[in-house]
Structure 1
Amino acid sequence: MANASQLFDLSGKTALVTGSSQGIGLALAKGLADAGAAVIVNGRDAGKVEVAAKELKGAKVYRLAFDVADYAAAKAAVDGFEASQGPIDILVNNAGIQIRGPLDEFATEDFERILRTNISSVFNVGQAVARHMIKRQAGKIINIASVNSMLARPTIAPYTATKGAVANLTKGMATDWAKHGLNVNAIAPGYFATPLNKALIDNPEFNTWVEKRTPAGRWGELHELAGACVFLASAASSFVNGHVLYVDGGMTASV
């Protein structure tokens, strides 16, 4: 049996984190790198990917710019990396967007865009990576869900729908792929200070609501997501499958 430090050691592993040029994705990439993993930084914008890669000082870093919402592009990128660089041992499906608006006025094109980015991408990249992991009979997939997988607020119904789908797709992936040696789980962050949430942070009324609604009494800090990600990416979670881990300061535990 490995000791505690060995259980969480990711040395020799390579992790692809989608949408890791900023925000939660970059924080998770840093956490995985700190645990010893080589990291593949991803985003649509190659320039932003390069800037983010430079922040991972001391780590082995790859750059892989592609659009996760494009099935063919995702498959080509994953297959190309596997052929030229080696196995992707860990996948973090983090890429996502938020588009707010009253549901009765929500534009069809925005609805389709949020579906492609938040849920189709999890299938696109997840399937491409899993096909290689299945051959090796090993692999870790971590999908990024949300407190909105369980809860809703006005003006974010489409986002809530996608994050509920991420949570259930995680369970489906685990059900299909656990027999092949894969662990598929999800992290569901609460309210964290990220570029995606800038409009909310800058809104005094909403900021006060978050602080009062969260038992911990504050917004989460990005580094507080790293431990959950390392756990689910490591040998420490070898019998954890299909689980959605809420990292939300207690928000979903209270009324």
Structure 2
Amino acid sequence: MHRFDLRAADLRVLNSLTKYPSIPTYHELDPRDGTLLESATAFPADIIATEKVDGTNSRIVLLPDGNYVIGSREELLHARGDLIGNPALGIVENLRAVADRLVETHESGLHVYFLELYGGKVGGAARQYTTDPARFGWRLFDVVRLENWSEPFTWPQSRISAWREAGGQPFAEEQDLTDLAATAGLELTPRLFRTDTLPESVEGMHALLTERLPKTLVGLDEKAQGRPEGIVLRSPDRKVIAKARFQDYTRTLKRRR
């Protein structure tokens, strides 16, 4: 394995390797109008449901050379030791102290902590969580641990993208994720329920969303509006994952009626 050096690394490759993959909707989206079709994602018997927080996808990348970078979903924004960080959406300002803490106990490999930063002025949903534009929250929702990182750094961009979107990144399974969050002193996105079956129909899933998540569980103040975005569904090994958003089901059922 080659020695990693952030200053010599291809940052385009690092960015692509550590991006979060797209997550499909539980019910398939109709490409013609964006409404939901009745075809649903097939899950194994054990399914974990967590709240989908409506903020901005953020990442802390712990590197083999003892450095770290902080990124948004699409871009790398800041590296350890930089005097200036990209101010986009408050990601660096809010997560730099978290990164400083995490890197102190990082021993080897390339690890990525994915967090949802929310509240503040993060998008139109910020008011659902807080009335204070200076108040932010963050929740850990996934971790990738890429120990054999040297070979992927030789891949072309097209291969990295295909690998990432096909589920090639080695994500932590549920128990490992819980342990990593506890060790890091980070809160996970709220775990809502575990089940062995899910509604197959669009109406059934809409009813489940309404029943199980009537209000967000991550509100930052009592005056916030509190409307949740939806639920993420996953198998414990994370091999199957999908999202169910209120807006998709509300729009679909409205058009049907």
Give the TM-score category using the shorter length.
under 0.3
Between Structure 1 and Structure 2, whose CA radius of gyration is higher?
Answer: 2
TM-score (norm 1): 0.25
Higher relative contact order (CA 8 A, sep 6+): 2
**Quick check: which one's strand share is greater?**
2
